[in-house]
Structure 1
Amino acid sequence: MDAPRRRGSGNIELRHLRYFMAIAEEMSFARAADRLGVAQPGLSQQIRILEDLLEVRLFDRSRRKLRFTLAGELFYEETRKLMVQFDAATQVAKRAARGEVGKLAVGYVGSAAYTGMLTRVIGEFRENHPTVELNISELEMLRQLDAIAEGRMDIGFIRPPVPLPRNIDTIPILFEDLVLALNAKHPAATQQEVDLADLASEDFIIPQHSSQMSFHHHTTVACNRAGFQPRFGPRGRDFMTIASMVSIGLGAALVPQSIRCIQLPSLVYKPIKGQATKAELAVAFRRGDHSPIVRSFIAITRHHTQQQNAAEADQFPSSDKS
């Protein structure tokens, strides 16, 4: 008859389960100790502690060959499931720390999609992080920035200048030339390039931005450089709307050159003579965000920015100075 077990005190620890599993799989204290790299007496003591804590005998040691008790056999089956689940949880945690799993919320202004930069950056991120759940939505700039500042969104593709919340940083990723969108019946529509000064009496259509934001700012600066203050006409929700408004003759618009992909009847795009104003596309994110997923996205963004800068440098090399 088995001696009564003394009631265990304390908690079962993970090492107890790992020791038990090694013995269960080897059915030998000696081989298990060698596999674990521990002394056999110490291993035996830890199993006795586990049995005391459980208040059951796990192994039948009365025979020459080590065997499970019924309690030990059933405990093994459940512990094996537990250890598989624990190992899976460990791997998930490590992958999350490397930014390989989790969620990323990305916002963008509609014009960002026309540049190709949005799809290139997100495409590379998705290729490198296929298990990260991406939530991508088109959203007006100020709403993006509020959502990022409040932690409801992680990344935003925006068109500066725009007032930034205190905890938001940006990375410029693209600078585009401006072009002039005109109705095909406009007198300037037949010109190779248009002198903006000739449109001083024109109504300029801009997005629904506050004063001095984004293309309100760009249009003002470009027209001021041409010697006049622009007269703003109707406003559009996005560049597709603006292109439609121009095509029906409601005014002209200064737009980023990537908008040329919007082709509508009675709509033409013309280069602007001597134009130096550039439209910026930038990525916004929370300053000091420690998320590995966000850090990885920012790293990919910086990589594409460097590639873009290098491509522009190759296309327009600086003149050598003697």
Structure 2
Amino acid sequence: MTGGRRPSRGNLELRHLRYFLAVAEELNYGRAAERLRIAQPGLSQQIRTLEEIVGTLLFDRSRRTVSLTLAGELFLVEARKTLAQADTALVAAQRAGRGEVGRIAIGYVASAAYTGILTSLVGSFRRAHPEVELQITEMEMQRQLEALAEDRLDIGFIRPPVSLPVGITSFPLLQEGVLLALPDTHALAEAESVELAALAADTFITPRHGTGVSFHRHTVKACQAAGFHPLLGPQGQDFVTIASMVAVGLGVALVPQSVRCIQLPGIVYRAVAGPAIVAELALGYRRTEPSPAARNFTQHARGFRVGPG
């Protein structure tokens, strides 16, 4: 080989760089071979192959000691950078595969924030996976389910019962009791607990859901169990709106007990007499989630499942 020979058509591989680096740092084929745990003749052949690929000598063999040529010294600088970058790429891919990095889009109904579980769960996950980017958006439940089905959302905090799209499933995060929200001018506002049957003539305000969904269903089912079909009135986009409607006297409402944190002038919260009414907050996700980070979040969330509140 001469210093001006054209490069070989062989492919440069990372192993060639690692062999070269060992010889360049040890400046001794025997020690380099021992470090690499390969036979010395095989290492010498690999270096010759590398020089064929590069098209010039990397080591000066004119003396008894091994030394780098100018080309070898320059090649050493770039070889170290390349190997370091390859290691970085490998670690990055492995971390992504384990779900330690990435991005998760999370949607939630507003009432999920009132329970405290949204902040505690997301905060706990963030501490465990600080390099995963979390995009959190308040979103009406049906929009969440549509976004989950269309891969625009990874995780949804929802209020069952609700029909789930194909490929979407859920599990309960929290169960909590249901209270009655009354205007403070209501005849039963001073009672410690209220029989639903006493409200047969009242208008019930529900969230803006379809028939049989979430608190629309809870309201109808509870009233029917009390012996009457509720008079359904205006609907609210969320429980803040519903609480406001109750406060101004537009009707009464069944709400999750966590909504009691919404303290507005003109509204009181009272227990419902009789059998407890329980509402659920659940985590919605794709059955066959491709994202390791999103799968990690789902698994992490399972540790937050609690019993009736």
- Normalising by structure 2, we get a TM-score of 0.96
State the match for 2:111 in structure 1: 111
**Corresponding residue for 1:238?**
238
Alignment of 1:92-131 (within 5 A): 92-131=92-131
1:7 to partner: Cα distance = 5.0
**Could you tell me which residue of structure 1 aligns to residue 61 of structure 2?**
61
Q: Is contact 1:194–1:272 with CA below 8 Å preserved after alignment?
A: yes
- Partner Cα separation in structure 2 for residue 273 and residue 79 of structure 1: 76
Residue of structure 1 in register with 2:219 after alignment: 219
2:75 counterpart SS class: helix
Aligned-residue CA RMSD (Å): 1.6
Deviation at 1:4, TM superposition (A): 6.8
Shift of 1:3: 7.8
Deviation of 1:85 after TM superposition, in Å, equals 1.1
Distance in 1 (alpha carbons) for counterparts of 2:179 and 2:158: 19
1:261 aligns with 2:261: yes
Give 1:9 shift.
Answer: 2.7
Return the alpha-carbon distance in structure 2 between the equivalents of residues 272 and 76 of structure 1: 78
Which structure 2 segments of 5+ residues have no match?
none
Q: Give the equivalent residue in structure 1 for 2:229.
A: 229
What's 1:181 paired with? 181
CA distance 1:251–1:7, change in 2 (3 Å): closer
Q: Which runs of 4+ in 1 moved over 4 A?
A: 1-7
Cα displacement string for residues 142-199 of structure 1 (whole angstroms, at most 9, x for unaligned residues): 1111111111111000001111111001011111111000111101000010001110
Residue by residue over 1:217-256, the C-alpha shift from the partner in whole angstroms, topping out at 9 and shown as x without a partner, is: 1100011111111111111111011111111111101000
Query: Which aligned pairs between 1:119-158 and structure 2 lie closer than 5 A?
Result: 119-158=119-158
- In 2, the alpha carbon distance for the partners of 1:115 and 1:6 equals 71
Gaps of 5+ in 1: 316-322
Structure 1, residues 284-310: CA drift from partner, whole Å, max 9, x if none? 0001214221221111111111xx23x
Say yes or no: does 1:52 pair with 2:38.
no
Deviations 1:100-148, CA, capped at 9 Å, x for gaps: 1111111100000111111121111111100000011011111111111
**For 1:100, what is the secondary structure of its paired residue?**
coil
Identify the residue that residue 170 of structure 2 maps to in structure 1: 170
The residue number in structure 1 matching 2:278 is 278
Q: TM-score, normalised by structure 1?
A: 0.92
CA distance in 2, matches of 1:79, 1:274: 76
Percent identity for Structure 1 against Structure 2: 56
**Which amino acid counterpart does residue 223 of structure 1 have in structure 2?**
C
In structure 2, give the amino acid aligned to 1:167. G
- Residue 29 of structure 1 and its aligned partner are, at CA, apart by 1.3
- Which residue of structure 2 aligns with residue 298 of structure 1? 298
Find the residue that maps to 1:304 and give its secondary structure: coil
